[in-house]
Structure 1
Amino acid sequence: MSKIRLSDISTTPPEGMEKEAIKIMTKEILKELDELQNLLYAEHQHAILIILQGMDASGKDGLIRKVLGNMNPQGINVKSFKAPTDEEKEHDFLWRVHRHAPARGMIQVFNRSHYEDILIQRVHKWIDDETAEKRMRAINDFERLLAEDNNTTILKFYLHISQEEQSKRLQERLEDPRKMWKYNKSDAVEAKLWKEYRKVYEDALEQCNDIKWVVVPADKNWYKEYVVAQTLRDTLRSFSMQYPNLEQ
């Protein structure tokens, strides 16, 4: 049984966090991120892989737009992983993912990721536990390879929302014209599997934690955006990057 219990972790901001103050801080962080991303691209020594996972309606799309939307699009790639194609099914489960690993100088975002192959596939019994264990070991090796072989820093965020907040957001997709495009007939079916998804997520967070997960309280978008932006900013700062000099 997993030692991680998501039910013990709050989905709301810590006490004392004031919305307007946090939003101002986030705005300043985003300004700094614009410059840091430019440095990353120019120096061309590091790569960043951002992995976003979470229950349906946890706000992955909005987070990408708000935190990364003002950066230079030449230095960012976003890949959403949906059901594998027939071609992808003919290969190992990491084949389609490895092709999108970031080059040095780039920020790559996975909107869902290789973790889907040990999440939705387990919930729907498309793979057994033994296969899932093998895949989790492969994921750890894959992430270690990226980190050690290509100087890639991997930031893994689990967007942690409550079941009540998910229900609210899914209902909005039925009522708000601006959000109806997000509606999928399978949403209601998957939402009923909340406990099953929670269980396999807990296992993934524990077994694939060689590169640490950040569990982000995600019921409030303003706090979620702050945590992710701050983590990315601090990571880029830690590289102590310099603009290249003129070649002699």
Structure 2
Amino acid sequence: MTDKHSHDDSSLNPFPIKKLDDLISPFLVPPGQRISLAKDYDPAYKAHYLKKSEAESELQKGIEALAKYQDMLYAQDTYALLIIFQAMDAAGKDSTIKHVMSGINPQGCQVHSFKVPAGEELDHDYLWRCSRALPERGEIGIFNRSNYEEILVTRVHPEILEQRQIPPNLIDKHIWQRRYEEINNFEKYLTSNGTIILKFFLNVSKEEQRKRFLERIELPEKNWKFSVNDARERTFWPDYMVAYEEMFNHTSTEWAPWYVIPADHKWFTRLVVAGIIYAQLKALNLNYPKVSEAKHQELLQAKEMLESQK
């Protein structure tokens, strides 16, 4: 048997921003309140930072601090952390995951990228494939896109629903409201069983997306990231913004809130995401397991044996 003891925060590397809550609070989508994506969230916002180098320096220290709490999450083996990333193309999901999680022990973290469902996935409900990829206790699971695609892409392109193996009578005007409720209930179930959920929307502007698309075309090493379909989807930008707004207004809950992160400056995006993850882990009051007295005596005996060996 093991019990827990409180850790000493002074032994941990703190996140380098003194007023971390003030930095991250503007990006929360308040549960129960309707928001306007265009009016309430600026994709180019970068707080007080004038220099990219300043934010990058703080991010590096923040990554080190984040790693400490991830180590305790893994050791305690009580909570799981699920991080969901949604965004328009070229918003920086891959690079944010790469940079923010660079200090994390791979043994305690898994990333799942969800593409267009196919094969066996279509023979199950839309939550099935994400359910299979949920993190175990002690681990961090990252979803690069998720079940939320089924209330985003399929809402913008309703013809996709007709291609799904869904009974026709279930494809009605109430389908989106049902799915909001289903997702909320699913996430409530997860949080009630120890899975913490953080949901990030990387909010890139349409103009910044255009610049990044052009860069992908102009740079040979980035050609593989681009397809002509990416350009076609830009014509549906207004429809996607409506779909995202409705998603935020219906699925940002007290137990699994959404954060709309400015994404025009990737260095700022990474800093804010790292700060939110760190703040969430810190709030869990994680502890390293403390061994029982019997186990402690075994360790002392083992120490004596090792010290006497040559």
1:212 counterpart = 2:243: no
Aligned residue number for residue 269 of structure 2: 224
* Residues 1:20 and 2:64 aligned together: no
Identify the residue that residue 38 of structure 2 maps to in structure 1: 7
Deviating runs (4+, > 6 A) in structure 1?
none
Deviation at 1:15, TM superposition (A): 4.7
Q: How does 1:1-248 map to 2 (within 5 A)?
A: 3-8=34-39, 9-18=41-50, 19-125=52-158, 126-127=160-161, 129-149=173-193, 151-210=194-253, 211-247=256-292, 248=295
Q: CA deviation at 1:3?
A: 3.4
Counterparts in 2 of 1:224 and 1:15: CA distance versus 1, 3 Å: closer
Asked if 1 retains the 8 angstrom alpha-carbon contact of 2:46 and 2:268, the reply is no
On the 8 A contact 1:102/1:108 being kept in 2, the answer is: yes
Gaps of 5+ in 1: none
Change (3 A) 1:129 1:173: farther
- Kept in 2: contact 1:101–1:108 (CA 8 A): yes
Q: Name the amino acid aligned to 2:36.
A: R
Verify the 8 A CA contact 1:55 1:161 in the aligned structure 2. yes
TM-score by structure 2 length?
0.77
* 3-state SS, counterpart of residue 289 of structure 2: coil
2-structure distance, mates of 1:80, 1:118: 17
1:145-180 superposed Cα distances (whole Å, 9 cap, x missing partner): 11002x111000010010000111111111112211
SS at match of 1:78: strand
Residue identity matched to 2:64: K
SS of equivalent residue, structure 1 residue 216: strand
Quick one: distance in 1 between partners of 2:125 and 2:204?
31
Task: Give me the whole-angstrom Cα distance separating, in 2, the residues matched to 1:155 and 1:15.
Answer: 21
* In structure 2, distance between residues paired with 1:45 and 1:208: 26
TM norm structure 1: 0.95
Cα separation, 1, equivalents of 2:246 and 2:152: 9
Are residues 204 and 129 of structure 1, via their aligned partners in 2, closer, same or farther at CA, if it must alter by over 3 Å? farther
CA contact (8 A) 1:218 1:224 kept: yes
Kindly name which structure, 1 or 2, has the bigger radius of gyration based on alpha carbons: 2
Q: Deviations over 1:124-155 (max 9, x none)?
A: 11345421221111000111111002x11100
Measured in 1, the distance between the counterparts of 2:46 and 2:104 equals: 28
**Is the partner of 1:63 in helix, strand or coil?**
helix
1:33-70 per-position Cα deviation (integer Å, ceiling 9, x unaligned): 11111111111111100000011111000001000122
Q: In the alignment, is the contact (CA less than 8 A) between 1:122 and 1:129 conserved in 2? A: no
Alignment deviations for residues 92-145 of structure 1 (CA, whole Å, 9 cap, x no partner) = 111111111111100000000110000000101134542122111100011111
> In 2, distance between residues paired with 1:75 and 1:89?
29
Give the Cα separation in 1 of the matches to 2:288 and 2:219.
46
> Mean Cα displacement is larger for which, 17-26 or 79-88?
17-26
Percent sequence identity over matched residues?
A: 40
Count of aligned positions? 246
- SS of 1:153's partner is strand
Look up the SS of the partner of 2:290 in the other structure.
Answer: coil
Tell me the distance in 2 between the aligned counterparts of 1:122 and 1:239.
36
Using the TM superposition, name which of 17-26 and 46-55 deviates more: 17-26
Task: Give the RMSD, CA atoms, in angstroms.
Answer: 1.4
- Determine helix, strand or coil for the equivalent of 1:193: helix
Letter in 2 for 1:12: A
Q: How many angstroms does 1:184 deviate by?
A: 2.2
| CA shift for structure 1 position 20 | 2.1
Which ranges in structure 2 are unaligned for 5 or more consecutive residues? 1-32, 162-171, 296-310
